[in-house]
Amino acid sequence: MSQMPRQAALPTCPSCAEPVDAGDRFCGACGYDLSAAPSRPDDHPTLTMNGSAHPASAHPASARPAPAQPTTHGTGTAGTVGNAGAVGASGAMGPSGAVGSPGPVGSSGAEATGANGTAVPGTGIPVPGTGVPGTGVPGTGASAGVPGAPLPPPAAPAAPALAAPPAPVAGVRFDRPSEPDEYALQAPDPRVAAEAAAVAETAKVCVACRAGRVDDDGYCENCGHAQPRERDHMEAESGPIAAVSDRGLRHHRNEDSFGLGCAALPDGSPALVAIVCDGVSSATRPDDASLAAARTASESLLAALPQGAHPQQAMHEAIVAASHAVNALADEPATAREQAPHQNAPACTLVGSVVTAGLLVVGWVGDSRAYWVPADRSSPPARLTEDDSWAAQMVAAGLMSEAEAYADERAHAITGWLGADAYELEPHTASFKPDRPGVVVVCTDGLWNYAEAAEEMAEVLPPDAADRPLHSARVLVGHALDGGGHDNVTVALVPFPAPVQGAGSA
C-alpha cells in the first residue's frame, strides 16, 4: 500500500540548534533573533534530505532536489552526484546533472535500499554506499561517480556570519541602518505661506510709528496708539466734484457724512449732486443719523433727476426721504428704551446742492451752509442758505444784530433738524441762475465757524477750485484744523460752468 510522504523536520535555531517554528522571530530557548540569521553562502550548497539540511560535496549551485513523486514500481537505484542525471522511474540517470525524481517506495512498505547497502531500520539515515531510504535520492560516495564510496561525516552547521559588530548580543539587532541625530524640518505648506503673505499685505500700518501692525481692536501692536477709524477722515471724488470729511481735533468720532453723485438728465446734460449732513451731538447716535440722511438724499436725487423731475422739486423730496430714514433709527427695541429711557432720537442737519446747465439749486434743514464763490472773483461771493438757529431767528426778528447774535452762547442752538423729535419738518429750497462760472461750497459749521462770512470763505478757497476740487477741499479742511478743529469738518465743492444768463431765486 502507498504511504504518505514524511513531514519535513522543523528548522533549528542557528545559535543553539533548538527546533523553532516557521513563523517564530526569536528562539524560545536562547532568544536569538531569527530574522538576523544570514543565509548560507552560495559556495556551500546543501542537499535537502527529509526536510533537514546536510552539507554535501561540491556540485553546481543550480542543482536542487526535485519534488518527490512516489510510484508503485520496484526499488530505486542509487546514483551518484556529479554527472548523474535525474533518477527516473526505473532509477536510470538523466543527462542534466541535477538530482531527478526520487526513487520508489517498495510495495511491501519496507524502506528502499541502495545498490550497495541498506538503510538503518527505522531511521531513514543511509549508511555509506546506500541511497536515502524512502526517497529514491541517490547515495554519494567519497568520489564523484564511484558507486558505494564511503560517505564523509556530516559537517557541523556553519556559524552565522554577521557584519560588525563581531560579537552580537542575543536578541539584539545590529543590522539596522544608522539613523540621523536630527531630522530635517518639514517643508512649509505653500498654501499657508501664501495666506500669510496675503494677510501681511492687507495689514494696516500704524499712523503714529509707521512700523507697527494695527490689531483688530484698532490699536498699534508696537506703540499702542489708537488708530483712526474709517470715518475719521474721508475723501471722495465723483466726476468734477469732490468732498472731504475729518473728525477734527476735539471730537472722539466723526459725526458728519456726505454723498456725491452725477446723473444724466433726459436731454443728456449732466447733473451734479452733493449732500452734506452734520449729526447733532446732543442726540443719540448722531453718526448713524448723518450717514442715513446723506445716503438717502443723494440716492433719491440721483434716481429722480434722470426721470425728468425738476431739480428743486427733487431736492425737496430728497430732504423728506432723508427725514424718514433718520426717523426710522428711533424705532429701537423696548429693552433699549428701558435701559436708557431718557435718550432722545437720532438727529442731524442737511444741506445739498444740485448743479445743472445754467441752474443751481440748494436745499437745507438746520445750520449747515452753502456758499457761492465766482471763479474770477470779480463779483462778490454770497451765502445761499439761512440757518435754522437761535441766532438767525434773533436777527430776523430784529432783536439783535448779527454780530451780537452769533456772539451769544446760544447762537448755534438749532431750531430745525431731521429726526423723530423735530418740531416740524420745514425743508428749505432755493434755485439760482448765476451769470458766470464759479464754485458752490457745501459745508458744515465745523468749517464755516472759521470762515463765517462769504468773503472769508472766498479768501480761503483756492483760485483753481473748479479745476482741482479735491485739493481745494483739503485746503478748506486744513484751514479749519489750523483754526482749532473744535468740531467735525466736512466740505463738498461743486463747480458751476454757467452760461451767460441772469440770476434769480425761489
Task: Kindly report, residue by residue over 302-335, the tens digit of the pLDDT.
Answer: 999 999 999 999 999 999 999 999 999 988 665 5
| Under 8 Å between Cβ of 38 and 79 | no
The span from the CA of 72 to the CA of 136, in Å, is 12
* Choice between 210 and 496, residue whose per-residue pLDDT is larger: 496
The span from the CA of 295 to the CA of 318, in Å, is 10
Checking if the pLDDT of 231 tops 70, the result is yes
Name the DSSP class of 132: B
Task: For residue 187, name the pLDDT band (cuts at 50, 70, 90).
Answer: low
Task: For residue 370, name the pLDDT band (cuts at 50, 70, 90).
Answer: very high
| Under 8 Å between Cβ of 220 and 214 | yes
How much is the average pLDDT of 240-252? 95
How much is the average pLDDT of 252-271? 95
* Choice between 40 and 401, residue whose per-residue pLDDT is larger: 401
Q: Which pLDDT value is given to residue 40?
A: 52
Checking if the pLDDT of 18 tops 60, the result is yes
Q: Which pLDDT value is given to residue 287?
A: 95
Average pLDDT, the chain: 75
Lowest mean pLDDT among 218-227, 419-428, 429-438, 439-448: 218-227
User: Which residues touch 196 (CB under 8 Å, ≥6 apart)?
Assistant: none
Task: For residue 32, name the pLDDT band (cuts at 50, 70, 90).
Answer: confident
Highest mean pLDDT, choosing among 37-41, 297-301, 496-500: 297-301
Lowest mean pLDDT among 140-144, 218-222, 357-361, 463-467: 140-144
Q: Which pLDDT value is given to residue 143?
A: 40
Backbone angles phi, psi at 372, to 5 degrees: -110, 125
* Choice between 402 and 111, residue whose per-residue pLDDT is larger: 402
* Choice between 303 and 503, residue whose per-residue pLDDT is larger: 303
How much is the average pLDDT of 379-386? 96
User: Which residues touch 331 (CB under 8 Å, ≥6 apart)?
Assistant: none
Which triple of cell numbers denotes residue 438? 464759479
Task: For residue 152, name the pLDDT band (cuts at 50, 70, 90).
Answer: low
Using only C-alpha atoms, the chain has a radius of gyration, in whole angstroms, of 55
Q: Which pLDDT value is given to residue 414?
A: 93
